[in-house]
Structures are given as C-alpha cells and as structure tokens.
Structure 1
Amino acid sequence: MTARTKNASSTRVGLISDTHNLVRPEALRYLAGCDAIIHAGDICNPAVLEALMKIAPVTAVRGNNDIGEWAASLPTHARLTVQQVTILVAHDIADVLADPHSEGIGVVVTGHSHKPSVSERDGVLFVNPGSAGPRRFKLPVSAGMLIVDGAHATARFDSLLT
C-alpha cells in the first residue's frame, strides 16, 4: 500500500524500529517533516529517542534488547489515536492481541523481525517498518510512513540505503 499525497487534513507518522543504537542520517532525513514518530522497539540507547524527538513527538515501546534503567520506563505496548485511527504498538507481533479489530484497533505497528511488511487482515492494517539499524543478513535497512486522514490509514515502507 502506498500513502496518498499529503493534504491539509492528513497526519504523517514516521515508523521506525530495531535501530539497535544506530541513528542513521538517512533515517533522520526520511522522518523529517513527520507530525509524529513511532519507534517499535530495540532502541538500545536513549540517545536514539533524543535524536528522534528533535524531529517530532515520539511514541516508543521496549524491545527485547532494551535493557537497563533507562528502558524500564518504556512500555511493552502503546496505544495512541491519530485523528480517528487507534494504533497499537508492540515490538513483537507475537505479543499482539489475537483480534485487535475487536478492541477498536485500526493499525498495528511492530518490529522485531527486521522484515518490512504492510498487510491488512480483518480490517486492521499491520505494519512492520523493518530495521533502520545495523544490517541483518540480507534484509533491507528500512523505515516506514503511516498517513492518517480521518478514519483512513495507509502505510508504506522504504529502503533507507541504495
């Protein structure tokens, strides 16, 4: 799925995950101009969140590699509403409710697998922006964009490196 062109009523939410203590300049450029940012875990250092907060407000969850005192304050799940769309954020898709639609969730954002994907199931948009951190195996280095316009959301992921 691809996002529509931004208009006055749409909200751009940057999606990033699995940075593993690496803030790539390509990721910062990609997220520039977003209204908000979601980090789906495996941050590994609070400096990553500080860099993202210079761009836009950040909602972040704790991943399996986020340890130590700084990470203890991060939730394992976050729920936020953008316009009329409720978004659930969790690091691992295995930790997501069996039927998010029944809970009023319109979008689920996860990370962990390092595999970028966008799919829709039972009226819920599932987005994994992939990993914006160190390259893992032959998987792409990527981030995503969620565009919310009223009660409608579209998403895409993009490679950060060519």
Structure 2
Amino acid sequence: MKKIGLISDTHGELSRRVVRFLENVDEIWHAGDIGNEQLADKLSALKPLRAVYGNIDGHVLRRMFPETVRFFCEDVDVLITHIGGYPGRYDSRIRKQIYTNPPQLFIAGHSHILKVINDKKINCLHMNPGAAGNKGFHKVCTAIRFTVDCKNIQDLEVLEFERTKF
C-alpha cells in the first residue's frame, strides 16, 4: 500500500499548507509546470518524487524530467503528462496511447482545475490535481492525496484553500 500526494502547476512556489499536506505520503507525483529546479529539489528532499515537465518549465527541468511517464504503482498502471485533456477531450499528443493501451490511472495538469473523472469507456480514472502554486488564473490552490492498494485507488482527499491565504 502506498499513499500518494499529487500536485501540479506549482510554478516555482509551494505553500506551507501543501508541504504539510504532503508530509504523510510515501511518494509525491507532480503533473508538470514545476517552475524551477529548486522547487524540484525541495520536493525530492521531502519524499520520493515522480514528475513530468510542463509547458512553462525550462530546459533544465526538461532534462530532469520526461514529458510523459508511465509506470506501475502497486498493481495500478499509471500514465502522467502535463497537457493531457480529460475524458472525451484527450489532447492529441496522448489520445492514441490512451485509447489503444489505456492506463488504469491517467493524470494530467495544466488546466489549474481540479478534476477526478471516471472514463467508463476505457475503464480509466482521470485525475487533475488543479494548481498548488500561487500563479495563474485560479483562485483556489488544490492538491490531492490518495492510497494505492494493490489494484485499488482509494481514500481520496482534497486540499483546497484560497490563493490569498498562500
């Protein structure tokens, strides 16, 4: 069993609230737009980090992390990318892979909007943790925590707070 902390769109900043939310997880997964390598290092120092780069990430972060990563956590097939869309509107860069070889869990960031949607057509759970950082159009910072136990994704928790209280 693994407890996962899922964040995205930090844009180089991480509040104490998010850090506290991530304290009791086994791994941190970041769905892109990390912002700078110092933040990536800070996250790696907290917990083991799996991350992808996002559209605002520069060449250093693009060397540190891939655009897309696919792996197994316990018995769950996981696919993470930054710009991925959502069920019924997957981005063209990922659409073929999702439909020909669907993961059990598909994670994307970019929209700054927290979403958890079950894609019943391909039996895939889609998660977008929204934006944990303080830059962008969003008014609320969000993060997700959940447990992976064998093939089960369970115990989902959401952190949500107003950006002005960063």
Please report the TM-score for the alignment, with normalisation by the length of structure 2: 0.83
SS at match of 1:81: strand
SS at match of 2:6: strand
For 1:105, the equivalent position in structure 2 comes to 103
For 2:57 and 2:24, the matched residues in 1 are separated by 27
- Please tell me the residue identity of whatever aligns with 1:21: G
SS at match of 1:141: strand
Task: Decide whether aligned partners of structure 1 residues 76 and 138 sit closer, same or farther in structure 2, where only a CA change above 3 A counts.
Answer: closer
Residues 64-103 of structure 1: pairs in structure 2 closer than 5 A: 64-93=55-84, 94=91, 95-98=93-96, 100=98, 102-103=100-101
The Cα of 1:98 is off from its aligned counterpart by 4.2
The Cα of 1:52 is off from its aligned counterpart by 1.2
- Please tell me the residue identity of whatever aligns with 1:151: K
For 1:99 and 1:70, the matched residues in 2 are separated by 24
Residues 38-57 of structure 1: pairs in structure 2 closer than 5 A: 38-57=29-48
Structure 2's unaligned 5+ residue stretches are: 85-90
SS at match of 1:54: helix
Do residues 32 (structure 1) and 23 (structure 2) align?
A: yes
Structure 1's unaligned 5+ residue stretches are: 1-9
- Asked whether the equivalents of residues 141 and 160 of structure 1 are also in contact (C-alpha less than 8 Å), the reply is yes
Please report the TM-score for the alignment, with normalisation by the length of structure 1: 0.85
Task: Decide whether aligned partners of structure 1 residues 103 and 159 sit closer, same or farther in structure 2, where only a CA change above 3 A counts.
Answer: same
Task: Decide whether aligned partners of structure 1 residues 99 and 45 sit closer, same or farther in structure 2, where only a CA change above 3 A counts.
Answer: closer
For 1:58 and 1:160, the matched residues in 2 are separated by 23
| Structure 1 outlier segments of 4+, above 2 Å | 68-73, 95-102, 135-139, 154-158
The Cα of 1:160 is off from its aligned counterpart by 4.0
The answer to which structure has the higher helix fraction is 2
The answer to which structure has the higher strand fraction is 2
SS at match of 1:49: helix
- Please tell me the residue identity of whatever aligns with 2:111: S
- Please tell me the residue identity of whatever aligns with 1:42: D
For 2:115, the equivalent position in structure 1 comes to 117
Counting matched residue pairs gives 153
